[in-house]
Structures are given as structure tokens and as C-alpha cells.
Structure 1
Amino acid sequence: MDSRVSDRKLRRELTTWDLLMLSLGGIIGSGWLFAAFGAATTAGPGSIFAWIIGGVIIIFIALVYAELGAMIPRSGAIVRYGHLSHGSFAGFVLGWAYFLSAVSVPAIEAEGVITYAASYSSKYGIVLLTNTGVMSVLGTFLAMLLMLGFFFLNYAGIKIMGKTNTGLTWWKFVIPTLTVILLLVVSFRPSNIIVGGIVPYGWAPVFSAVATSGIVFSYLGFRQGIDYGGEAKTPQRSIPLATVFSVLIGILLYTALQIVFIGGIDWGKLGLVPGSWAQIYSLATSNSNPEAVALYDAPFAHIAQAAGLVFLTYILFADAYISPSGTLNVYLGTSTRTLYGMAANGHMPKKLLEIMDKNRIPFIPLLATLLIGYIFFLPFPSWYKMVGFITSATAFTYIVGGAALMSLRRTAPELKRPFKLPYARVLSPIAFIGAGEVVYWSGWPLVLYLAIAIFLGFAVYFVLLLLGAIENSFTKENIKAGLWVPIFIIVLTVLSYIGDTSLGGIGVIKFPFDLVTVAVISFIFYMWSVRSGIRTEDITEMIESGSQYVFEESAREAVGK
């Protein structure tokens, strides 16, 4: 099936508000329930800066994708841009990495629900988490059942799924906002922010917290408005607005949540000297301090309970089902459209392009997403174990944004650009470098695991090739155009190994020189990536056939604007 034919079959039901709510719904998930704890125990009060740093990086990335998304609105769009700007080879590597990150999110959101439930189910003899903090057999079964329920919601169609998400997102926004206000009034201790120093462990853990504690992971939901772009009524206007405003709202909300979490810690109840942030995590994971364990399992609910806000505690436990479930719902759809996008690129069987006539959704990718998502429970059986992998995998795929934007401006200047990013020559390399830094901050050996997982994608590709499920699309031209991608993976892996010891490296390059080194090398790869971009056949066909916008109505609106 031709991808243009299948793209036209998708229902265009989503408004600007729906796209904003999809993006914001992706941002406010399990991250708001757990990331504040992970960031605080990594960097102490410095975690407040970590949220701002992570948010600024994501804003630069989001601005780049705002132009791309409005210019070429497609479902599964992010996996298609590298293919359009640099050819099939780069498109496959980046698409595979993006799929790994997207398909694992439903599993981590389900784990978030089970982790919160475990904090009170144990009182009734129901064991959902073991003493080591990983899910039990029962916990895993319930997480799988939860994913199955949202599989059927996505199966019902994009309109029902989108409107359901809008309602859930309102709840997901109101509850953390209410939490900020109440904890600020009732339990906030300003001394917690300055005791031991605002950055007690130095700046290296602050940057590490950006990547490994769930900060960037929490912001990654901005991509939903782009990935659902092919099902929007007015994508040229809706995608930029939804993308940028969702991140801005996320930065304000998450920074405020981190502040009230830091200020809400009662050191006396924990039995610790004020400022002993790193000890909280070790006590919780060793199961040697009940207060620390309760804080680990249900961070904000525990602080609310300690402050005497019983009603808020009940609301937070209810939200522990709703917020992650809403994000699970969104990402099942995102993963589905990622597989769909890879099939449109020719990297997956064309069977994945088939759209159901009744519900107008790609059913086979949806089913595959559910089954593959289940597999991630095996190597990453807890929320805190999975979040770093998802962050580094997604951040790596975002490097192509700046490269694709500037490459397409050079190779296809005649493409209509309803939103043209100002100062793109400055912002694009910043976005590229920022994504590279986030991958490096994930630390050793996590970057190694990411590299292995990405290169395993080639095995998948060649198996599909041998089975005749796909045709070989790797030509000499597009291999040359995309060679920078796998080499950059290897270089980042080496930098991670020789990097600062606080990030798991052997300390050959110490902080802050490691950050400068990564920035310089990333800029070199950025220049290589922009120069190696090519005018692909898909872009040429898109321009010559007038199919830049799949739907004629969208094309007329873009020209009119």
C-alpha cells in the first residue's frame, strides 16, 4: 500500500486544543509522581535547576520540530523526518531508536500505577513490589492488564481516544497544580533548600539528574502533537502551538513541584541529618527505613500525609491511576504511529500501513505495540530502572531535528513553511548539541546499552529483508548521507566510558571539561549532518506532485495563510 493512500485514510478529527492536550497529557504522566524524588536524591536542591535546564533544552528541540511538523504534517512524523532529509539509512537508524523509546513508555506508565498501588496494597497482604523495588508476578500481570484496557480504547478510534485524553489531561493538570498550592502553604520548609548548600554534590549530578531521574523523560510528551499531526484538522497552525505551549506549561509546573517536594521533606521523621539527600534513596532501596520506602513508593502522597493533608493523600492515590494511565493511553497511539511511519519509510512491512475501514486506525501496529511493550517488563521491572533508557533513546533521535530542518532548507527551499523558525541557524545546532548532552548525561553503562539496542535494529532489518517482508532501500548515496548517525552513536558511547566518574565513566575527561568536549564534538557532527543532507526521492515527489500536505484542504489553508 502506498503511504499517501494510507495517510489519506486517517481521520482528521483533532483540533489545536486536542493536540495541545495530547502533548500536555504526554508530559504530565508518571513523571510528576516519581521524578521529583529521583531528582532530589541525585542532586538535592540542585534538582530545581535540573528541571529548568532540561526544559530549556527541550524547548529548543520543540521549536525545531514545530517548523518540521507544520511543514510536513504526518502521523508518526518524527520517524519520517530523518528519512526525508538524509535518506533511508539514517531514517532507519533514527526510526528504530525512536520506536524503542516510544514502545517502552506504556510499560513504564503501567509500572508507575503499580508502584503507587504497592504503597498501600501491602497492608492487605497483596504484594505488588518485591523488597528490591521491582514488580512481583502479580504486579506485572496487573500492569499488562492495564495496558490491554487502553489497547481497546485506542482501537475504538482517534476521535474517542482524543476526547478521552482531553478529559484526563484536565484532571492531570489540576491535581498537581492543587498539590503545589497546598504543600506550599502547609508543609513548605525554606531551610530545606539551603541546608547543605543549594548544589550540595556539585553541578555534575545536576546534569545527571536531567537525564536519569525522569526530568527529560517527563518533558518528552511534547512530541504527541507532532506524531498525531496527520490526524489534525489544521496541522499547519495546530502543531507549532501545541508543541511549544505544552513544554512551557510543563516547565512551570514541574519546577514548582520540585520546589514543594524539596521543602516538604521532614528530616526528623526520616531520622536523617538535614541535607542527607543521597541517603534517602539508599535507605529506600535497601528497605531499611519505612519512611524512606514510603517516600520512594509514593513521594507526594507521603509528604501530604505527613503534613496532615489526608484528603490530598486520597486524591493523589487516585491520580496515581489516572495520570500514568492517561499517558499510557497516549503513548500506545504514539508507538502505533511510529511503526506506521517506519512502514511508510519502507523499513517495516507494508502490511503495517493498512488502515481499518471502520475505525480508521492502523490496527496491526497497535497490536504489535502492545505485545512488544510487554517485553520491556523483563529487563526493566521498575519505574526508576526504565526511565534512563527511555530518556537517552529518545534524546538521541531528537538530534535529527536540527539537522533535518537546516538540510531541508538547503535541499528543498521551495517547500511551504507555514511556521518558519527565526534564528534557525543558531537554534538548530543548540537543539542538536542539547540532545547529544542529554544522551551523555545518561551515563555509563546506560549509553552502551542504548548503542547495543540501536545496532540490534540492523539485525531486525536484515531478517525482514531475508524474509522478503521489505525491499532493500540502503543505497550507496543514502548510506553516505546517513553515515554520521551510527558513528555519532559510537563516539557518544566512547565519551560516556571515558567521561566523569559521577556519570559512571572512568574519569579521563572530568567535569566540566567533559560537557565542553561533548558540545564541541556534537557541533562537528551537526555540521557533518547538515552538509550530508540530500534531496531525497520522497521530497522530490512531494514537491512535484503537490503532496506536501496530504489533504487538499490543509494545502489551501496553508497557502491562504
Structure 2
Amino acid sequence: MGEGQLRREGGKFGLLYASLGAIVGSGWLFGPLHAAQQAGPLSLVSWLIGAAAILLLALVYAELGPLIPRSGAIVHISHLGNGSLLGWIWGWILFFSYVTIAPVEVTAVLTYANNYLPGFLQEGAQGLLSRRGFVAAVLLLGIFVAFNFLVIRWVLRINSVATWWKLLIPAATVFVLVSLSWHPENLHLLPSHGALESMFAAVATSGIVFSFFGFRQAIDLAGESKDPGRTLPVAVIGAVLLSALLYEGLQFAFLVAVNPADLSHGGWAGVDLPGLTGPFAALALAVGAGWWSTVLYIDALISPAGTGFIYVTSAARVSMAAAEMGVFPRFFTHINRFGVPWRALLLVYGVGILFSFPFPSWQKLVGYISSVTVLSYALGPIVLLQLRRAMPKAPRPFRLWAAPILAPLAFIVSNWIIFWAGLETLSFTFTALALLLGLYLLLRLFTPAPERKPLGLRHMWWVFPYFALLWLCSYLGPRDLGGLGHITFFTDMAIVALLSLTVLRLAMTFAVPDREILRYMAEINESKAATGP
């Protein structure tokens, strides 16, 4: 294996564990509490909605991934059918959606650790790291990066061992809580106001969708898989289904284990457990399983740390792919003799440190990240339909059944999740995108004319009314989501669905010519053949 090549050493189970290991992280430690506070027993439905939404996207990418079996494949997908400008902006969106996850998982580790090693969090500022916590975060993130300098075979083996632990402990937690504290009457206590609205909003803001994003790890490591055509669909779909079953059990156990007396003042919204920064451990202690709370505090180090570790792995691959596509300098495409994109790893570490500063708490930050990430994945259904049109007879290791129906539905659901995140999150996301667009145009001014790529505005102009109208729906929408209240919740959802179908039609109409898509796919295949097994 020469210098400059990735190693194709990832098997079916290695990729499955990569996705599962990324899904079961800090989400299971904090998500059920936040979901219960927002939606009460309806949080059980929230997890089902989140799983169904992500499964739709996972099915789309299960077809797309094997067609572009490159590490960081999602970046390549974003450049396929809508011009270089959209590909550049989407490349940055993807980069931020990946590079921010590991710092969030590090924050989760330190939040739990603060219960027995006080000083990692600021006094009186819930969930914010102190100076000591920031230093610890930088060191822990550095450990994740250091272990990623191993060859990919060992990276996946370490993750596989951690994943078994991460699956067994949550599953055992369900059994412990249900067997020691059984209060099914809790399931009848619904939120006092806007129960259905809260059920949908919880999908985007309580960490539910954030938890399921780990499915993409298998796709990002496609370039290091022995047989991506067979392994990717199994890994992607299997990870979503298995984790959905686990999360549904955890939410049920949390709901029935809480003492009804704790719900007598304020209902689910006012539930307050001792040691709230470690809700499951606090709940185990409250039901008389102090020994299990100790296990959970140990797991609170392993689960988020394992997820942070594998996200550093994939973030480096996405960064490398972004450099290959011209989003970043070519400097970051370098791969050492062990098959490690080490310069991209250092970039991930540097940017990760910035996101370790005392920004908003875990729940607030995952709301922002969820919105950005869902937006980045919303492009997948569009690209799938573009490829179906440009390459109707091309062999596909996995072919999505009823794609003309399921792909538009996946796009609608993506936009619903963005809408459910609320006006504040949507404003943050679109402001960031406007700044990225301004940066691109500024850099273009300083690029010599012969080196400038065509902007491709004709192929992506639909993005501007898409973003503007989606923001307007949120601005005029329900007060519970930060809007003015001129449009009711479900009416607004119907409007967003119609907007999504209109935007999808425009994106298909103004896509780059089919011959350009075919040329790009040919280049991808030639590059794959040159890399070799």
C-alpha cells in the first residue's frame, strides 16, 4: 500500500458498528429527558417520527452511497447536479455538521463527569463549560484525534468493541428501570398546552434527530470498504432500525420509572431530578439502583467518547473530500503511508477546539446542528432523482423501491424537521449560509479569471426562494416555534410540504445537463479504479 491511498479494510460489520457507534452516544444520555420535558408520553411517538424520517433519508443514501464509493462521499454527492456554487456551499454545510459533533460529545462526557468531579461546568450557567472544562475538552478531543492516526482497520476494531458496550448498557438500563419502578399511570399525563405541536417539535430540538445522524458514518467510510455495494445498505438501514428499537425502549423506561410525585408540580415540563446533568444516573439512584448509577456514570464516559471518536474519523474524510472538490485547499487531501488523511485530522481538531468554547448548552447546540445537518441531507433526494433520470439503466447495488414517491417524501420530511426546530434556529442557519455565500463571492474576486469555475447560478437559483420562503413560513408560523402566530402549526406544515414539492420540481428542471452528470460519475469511477483495492 503506497503513500497517498486509503486502505479498503472495512467490512460489513465494521461499517454497521461505525454507524451504530455514532448513533448511540450522548443522545441516549440526555435525549429521553428533554423529549419527556417537551412532549411527555407523546415523546414515544416523537422517537418513531424521528426514526421514520431518518430511515427515509437513509434509504435514499443507501442507493446513492454505493454509486459513489469514496470516503467523504456525501461531499461528492453535493457537487453532482446543481453547479459548483451550490456544491461549495453544501460542502461547508457538511463540514460544519460533522466537525461540531465531537465537541458536543466531549461536552456530554464532561457534563456527566461534573457530578463526581465538580468544576467542569460554570456555576449558575447550566451546561456551559468552565475554564477547567474547556482545557479538559481540548485534551479529550486531542485523544480522539491521536487514536485516529491508526490505520482504518484498527479504528474500526476499537469502535466495534466500544459499540458492544454502548448497546448493552442502555439495553440493561431499560430492564433495571422497568423492573424497579413501574408507574404506567405516567403515560396518561400529557402536556397541558400544544401536545401534538410539542410532539413534533421534540423531534428536532430534544436530540432525537441529532441522535440518528450517526447512520451516515458507513457512507463516509465507503472508500475504505471492501465491498461498498453490499455493505453500505446493510450498515445504513440496519443501524437506523436497531437504534430506533433501543431508543424507544429507553424513552418508555424513563417515562414509567419517574416517581408520579415528581410530576405533581408542573407535569413533565417541570420534572426535576437530583443531578439533572446526569438524568438516567439520577433516576437509577432514585429507584434504589445506586450500583447501576455508578455503571451509568462510567458509560457516560464511554458512549459519548466512542461517538466523538468515530465522528472525528468521518469528519476527516469529509474534510479530505471537500479539499478534493476545491472547497478547501488541496493541502488537506494528503494521505500518509498508513492510509490516514492526517492533515484533514488536524483541521478537524483545530476547528473542534473552537466549538469547545462555552457556547450554548447541549440541548441548544444540538438544535442548531440538527437543523444544519438535515438541511445538508435534504439535497440527497434531489440528487437521487437527477441520477435516476441521467442514468436510468445503470446497475445499482441497492435500488430504492418507489423512489419517485419516497424521495420527494424524504425531502418534505427534511424540511419539516427544519421547520420544527423553530425560528431562532432557522435564522441562525440561514444567516450562516448567507455569510458562506458572501465568503465564496469574496474569494472569487481574488481568484485569477482563468482559474474561476463557472458559478452555475442557472442551476441553483431555486435555492434562494427555497430558503427565503421556508424562513417566512417559520416567521409567520406558530408562537410555540418562535413565529408571529399568523399561521397555525398544521397549516404551516401543509404549506412547507407544497413548497418542498415545488422546489424539488424546480431543482430537477434546472439541474445541470445529464451529460455533465454522466461525465462526473465517469471521473469518480476512474478515480476509484486508480486507487485500487
Offset, 1:543: 2.9
Partner of 1:557: none
1:279 paired with 2:273, answer no
Aligned position for 2:300:
320
Q: In the alignment, which residue of structure 1 is the partner of 2:182?
A: 188
Cα distance in 1 for residues equivalent to 2:99 and 2:424: 21
Q: CA deviation at 1:546?
A: 5.0
**1:226 aligned residue (201, 204, 219):** 219
Partner deviation per Cα, 1:208-261 (whole Å, 9 max, x = no partner) = 100011000000000000011111010011111100010001111111111111
Change (3 A) 1:447 1:118: same
Partner of 2:341: 362
Assess if the C-alpha contact under 8 Å between 2:15 and 2:217 holds in 1: yes
The 8 Å contact of residues 478 and 489 in structure 2, kept in 1 or not, is answered as yes
Q: 1:162 aligns with which of 136, 153, 156?
A: 156
Question: Please, which moves more after superposition, 482-491 or 306-315?
Answer: 482-491
Q: Which residue of 2 aligns with 1:502?
A: 480
Letter in 1 for 2:300: A
More displaced 10-residue stretch of structure 1: 304-313 or 200-209? 200-209
The yes-or-no answer on 1:352 pairing with 2:352 is no
- Whether the 8 Å CA contact 1:77–1:227 is kept in 2: the answer is yes
Q: Tell me the alpha carbon deviations over residues 396-449 of structure 1, each in whole angstroms, 9 at most, x when there is no partner.
A: 011111100000111233543111111000110011111111111110111000
Whether the aligned pair in 2 keeps the contact of 1:348 and 1:470 (CA below 8 Å) is: no
When normalised by structure 1's length, the TM-score is 0.90
Out of 451, 460, 477, the residue aligned to residue 482 of structure 1 is 460
TM-score normalised to structure 2 length: 0.94
In structure 2, what is the Cα distance between the partners aligned to 1:446 and 1:436?
A: 13
**Post-superposition offset of 1:65:** 0.3
Helix, strand or coil at the partner of 1:297: coil
Residue equivalent to 2:440: 461
* Aligned partner letter, 1:292: L
Q: 1:410–1:379: structure 2 CA closer, same or farther, 3 Å change rule? A: farther
CA contact (8 A) 1:98 1:397 kept: yes
- Residue aligning to 1:434: 413
Q: Distance in 1 between matches of 2:273 and 2:283?
A: 11
Per-residue CA shift, 1:58-108, capped at 9, x if unaligned?
Answer: 111000000000111111111211201222122122221111111110110
In 1, the alpha carbon distance for the partners of 2:203 and 2:486 equals 22
Amino acid across the alignment from 2:320: Y
Shift of 1:551: 6.4
Find the counterpart in structure 2 of residue 492 from structure 1: 470
Q: CA deviation at 1:127?
A: 4.9
Cα distance in 1, alignment partners of residues 449 and 25 from structure 2: 36
User: What residue is the counterpart of 2:173 in the other structure?
Assistant: 179
Equivalence map 1:396-545=2 (5 Å): 396-462=375-441, 464-465=443-444, 474-475=453-454, 478-534=456-512, 535=514, 537=516, 539-543=518-522
Query: What RMSD over aligned residues (CA atoms) do the two structures have, in Å?
Result: 2.3
Partner of 1:373: 352
Whether the 8 Å CA contact 2:45–2:199 is kept in 1: the answer is yes
Match 2:204 to one of 195, 200, 211? 211
Q: What are structure 1's unaligned runs of at least 5 residues?
A: 281-290, 555-561
Retained in 2: the 8 A contact 1:115–1:129?
Answer: no
Is the CA contact 1:77–1:341 (under 8 Å) kept in the aligned structure 2?
yes
Q: What is the one-letter code of the residue matched to 2:316?
A: T
Q: CA deviation at 1:528?
A: 1.5
Question: What is the CA–CA distance in structure 2 between the aligned matches of 1:127 and 1:340, rounded to whole Å?
Answer: 33
Contact kept, 8 Å, 1:76 with 1:340, in 2: the verdict is yes
- Cα distance change of structure 1 residues 193 and 162 upon mapping to structure 2, 3 Å threshold: same
Mapped to 1, the partners of 2:222 and 2:366 lie a distance apart of: 26
Counterpart-to-counterpart distance in 1, 2:316 and 2:349: 9
1:299 correspondence with 2:279: yes
Q: Distance in 1 between matches of 2:105 and 2:364?
A: 13
Tell me the CA shift for residue 21 of structure 1. Answer: 0.4
Contact 2:81 2:517 in 1 (8 A): no
2:253 corresponds to 1:309:
no
Q: What CA distance in whole angstroms lies between the structure 2 residues aligned with 1:389 and 1:472?
A: 35
Q: State the Cα distance separating 1:462 from its structure 2 match.
A: 4.3
Letter in structure 2 aligned against 1:189? H
Of stretches 448-457 and 28-37 in structure 1, the one that deviates more from structure 2 is: 448-457
In the superposition, relative to structure 1, how do residues 503 and 417 fare at CA in structure 2: closer, same or farther (>3 Å)?
same
The 8 Å contact of residues 476 and 485 in structure 2, kept in 1 or not, is answered as: yes
Residues 267, 274 of structure 1: 8 Å contact kept? no
Out of 53, 63, 66, the position equivalent to 1:67 is 63
Question: How big is each residue's C-alpha offset from its partner over 1:180-210, in whole Å with a ceiling of 9 and x where there is no partner?
Answer: 1111111131011113x38864211111100
Q: Number of paired residues?
A: 530
In structure 2, C-alpha distance between the alignment counterparts of 1:47 and 1:205, rounded to whole Å: 9
Asked whether the 8 Å contact 2:129–2:357 carries over to 1, the reply is no
Residue in 2 that maps onto 1:244: 237
Which of 80, 99, 102 does residue 103 from structure 1 map onto?
Answer: 99
Query: 1:544 and 1:351 mapped to 2: Cα distance?
Result: 21
Establish whether residue 138 from structure 1 lines up as the match of residue 132 from structure 2. yes
Structure 1 distance, partners of 2:250, 2:440, is 43
Per the TM alignment, residue 267 of structure 1 is displaced from its structure 2 partner at its CA by 3.9
Whether the 8 Å contact between 1:43 and 1:199 is mirrored in structure 2 is no
* 1:426 maps to amino acid: I
Give, in angstroms, the shift of residue 362 of structure 1. Answer: 1.4
Query: Tell me, what secondary structure is at the counterpart of 1:84?
Result: coil
Structure-2 change in CA distance of 1:485 and 1:298 (3 Å): same
User: 1:538 Cα shift?
Assistant: 6.4
Shift of 1:330: 0.9
Q: Higher mean Cα deviation, 232-241 or 527-536?
A: 527-536
Post-superposition shift, 1:114? 0.7
Deviation at residue 355 of structure 1 after TM alignment: 1.1
Superposition deviation, residue 275 in structure 1: 6.4
What is the CA–CA distance in structure 2 between the aligned matches of 1:546 and 1:354, rounded to whole Å? 20
| Partner SS state of residue 73, structure 1 | coil
Match of residue 283 from structure 1: none
Partners of 1:395 and 1:439 within 8 A in 2:
yes
Task: Look up the SS of the partner of 1:155 in the other structure.
Answer: coil
Matched-pair contact (CA < 8 Å) for 1:192–1:274: no
CA separation of 1:198 and 1:470: change in aligned 2, threshold 3 A: farther
Q: Distance in 2 between matches of 1:447 and 1:45?
A: 27
Q: What are the superposed Cα offsets for residues 460-509 of structure 1, whole Å, 9 maximum, x if unpaired?
A: 43455466599865525x32112223432222222221111111111111
Change (3 A) 1:79 1:546: closer
What SS does the corresponding residue of 1:494 show, helix, strand or coil? helix
The alpha-carbon distance between structure 1 residues 517 and 259, as it changes in their structure 2 partners (threshold 3 A), is: same
Shift in CA distance, 339/472, structure 1 to aligned 2, threshold 3 Å: farther
Pairing 1:339–2:319 present: yes
